[in-house]
Structure 1
Amino acid sequence: MFTYRPPSDPVQILYQDADLVVIDKPSGLLSAPGRGEDKQDCALSRCRLTVPGALLVHRLDMDTSGIMVLALNPTSHRHLSQQFEQRRIGKTYLAWVEGSIAEDSGKIDLPLLADWPNRPKQKIDRENGKPSLTRWQVLEHRAGATLLKLTPESGRTHQLRVHCEAIGHPVLGDRLYGSLKSRGRARRLQLHAQLLTFDHPRTAEPSEFLSPGDLTGPASHDTLSPISAP
């Protein structure tokens, strides 16, 4: 049974003005409150401790770290939400995945659908799934693993995690997808939202925010410590 144990790492504020705040969410912290009193600690609630009135615009998976933008008034919330809905937001992720990928770059074009009997998992469904496209580029190889730059052109739930598993290279440390081996090669999910670009809701100027992240990369094959799914 899954027990929520949010990290003590602070939610770092990277930028703030009268309309929005950009934060760096640590891995293991919910983006928004979940069901039950034990799941109220989240990125939104922590942000509101220092920035009252912050409004959620989008989410990152609990175990994914990195850039999030929150609105500070209804007008900004509407503008930013529309950019996400219309796919005008630029998003780049870093991910350490199992195995060595020979090609330099490529794309994964596989439709996704909720796997209802196994919630919250998602699955590839070529007949009923929603179109989902991820572009990838190899950045580094190390210890039988590959560091990828991932650029999703759609924003499906668990898209990057399912797409990487579908091509035989699951994200290291992923408790929902992949194998016992790939889960055990990192203490946390090796997926980080590195870059976020959007038009500022007040000025319409292109805005870009970066978080280098602290992905540790793979443990060696001879020091595996399997992580079971929640």
Structure 2
Amino acid sequence: KEDGSVLPNKRTWSFASLKPDEIVEFLYKNIVWDKYGIVAINKPYNVCCQGGTVARGSVNLIDHLPGLAARLSCPHLHPVHRIDRTSTGIVLLARTEQQARHLKLCFKERRIEKYYYCITRDVPSPLEGIVDIPLTASAKHRDCDWRAALRPTQSALDEANLTVLTRARVPTASSRSGAKEAVTRYRVVDKFERCALVEVQPLTGCKHQIRVHLGYGLNTPVLGDHKYSSMRDRLMPQRLPESTLTRLGIRPARARDLPLFLHCQRVAVPVDPSKSPSDSASVSVIKAPFPYQFVRVSVIHSRSKIDTETC
């Protein structure tokens, strides 16, 4: 499809043919949490979370918040954070401005924990660790254009004794200023053929952080990530081994249309005490079922190493 929404098994996902009320109803059915003034949507593939022009076949969540608010019988819904259009999983909304301010403050203070699951091309080594590599935006390419010296170091971190991968930055014309701290914790949950199911926890909030750290930092890009699979040629689609393509049920010529296998599966949110007076320190864990493409690879249902209750 021209909108790049081809899923494994020749399924497609495009909002181009849906009417506004149908889109609102679709989003409503994807609500996975509605308590304490917090509404969480299990965002599907091809839904944007910010204003502006959207890709063909996609839809802008912001445009449909008034309709969704009416469906929930509340005056307004306030966006709190966003994830990429091609990512899936939990997106938080607030019913009131007060709750929105509380959640945004929690994000700023890093009191909200987000856990993603992804499928990578090849298996990260080591199987568990932390990637601590600063990122900077490139004015030329508008993505994370950093260069690193090939000097990975290993050390213990707190009591977890995890491997920490760091690389000394090499200043370039495009990256001498504006570098942001970017830290990502990861662990391999399962391996199959030349792929891995990986749980990822971003400890900072840089744009495309998970994708860059896995793709460029560990050299194991997320399946379907055509942007951060090669530092040499960013225009080429991701190259996948034949065994992986067979498992996905797609031809090599359609590899370019493969969706991103990156899903925000759960979020731990400190509840505003004014909304939950019974427990001023309560934390709500919000979970979202995995999308079709994860199930298609038959990792989720066939393994017990992750919380299968969310599937």
**What does residue range 1-230 of structure 1 map to in structure 2 within 5 Å?**
7-8=14-15, 10-11=26-27, 12-17=30-35, 19-35=37-53, 41-52=59-70, 53-119=76-142, 121-124=143-146, 126=169, 127=171, 128=177, 129-166=179-216, 167-179=218-230, 180-182=238-240, 184=255, 187-201=258-272, 202-203=275-276, 204=280, 205-214=282-291, 215-216=294-295
Return 5+ residue gaps in structure 2 as ranges. 6-12, 16-22, 71-75, 148-168, 172-176, 231-237, 241-253, 299-311
Cα gap change, 1:186 to 1:211, in 2 (>3 Å): farther
Shift of 1:186: 7.3
- 1:226 aligns with none
Residue pair 1:112, 1:132 contacting (<8 A) in 2 also: yes
Shift of 1:56: 0.8
Which amino acid in 1 is paired with 2:261?
Q
Residue pair 2:134, 2:180 contacting (<8 A) in 1 also: yes
Cα gap change, 1:49 to 1:40, in 2 (>3 Å): farther
Cα gap change, 1:16 to 1:44, in 2 (>3 Å): farther
C-alpha separation between the residues in 2 aligned to 1:40 and 1:137?
32
Which amino acid in 2 is paired with 1:45?
D
C-alpha separation between the residues in 2 aligned to 1:46 and 1:176?
28
Normalised TM-score (structure 1): 0.83
Residue pair 1:65, 1:191 contacting (<8 A) in 2 also: yes
Shift of 1:36: 7.0
C-alpha separation between the residues in 2 aligned to 1:37 and 1:187?
16
- 2:246 aligns with none
* Bigger Rg, which one: 2
- 1:228 aligns with none
Which amino acid in 2 is paired with 1:111?
P
Cα gap change, 1:91 to 1:36, in 2 (>3 Å): closer
Shift of 1:25: 0.3
Aligned residue pair count? 217
Shift of 1:33: 2.3
Normalised TM-score (structure 2): 0.63
- Of 87-96 and 4-13, more deviation after overlay is shown by 4-13
Return 5+ residue gaps in structure 1 as ranges. 220-230
Deviations 1:8-67 (A, max 9, x none): 483211121462211110011101222379799322333432324111110001100000
**Greater per-residue strand proportion:** 1
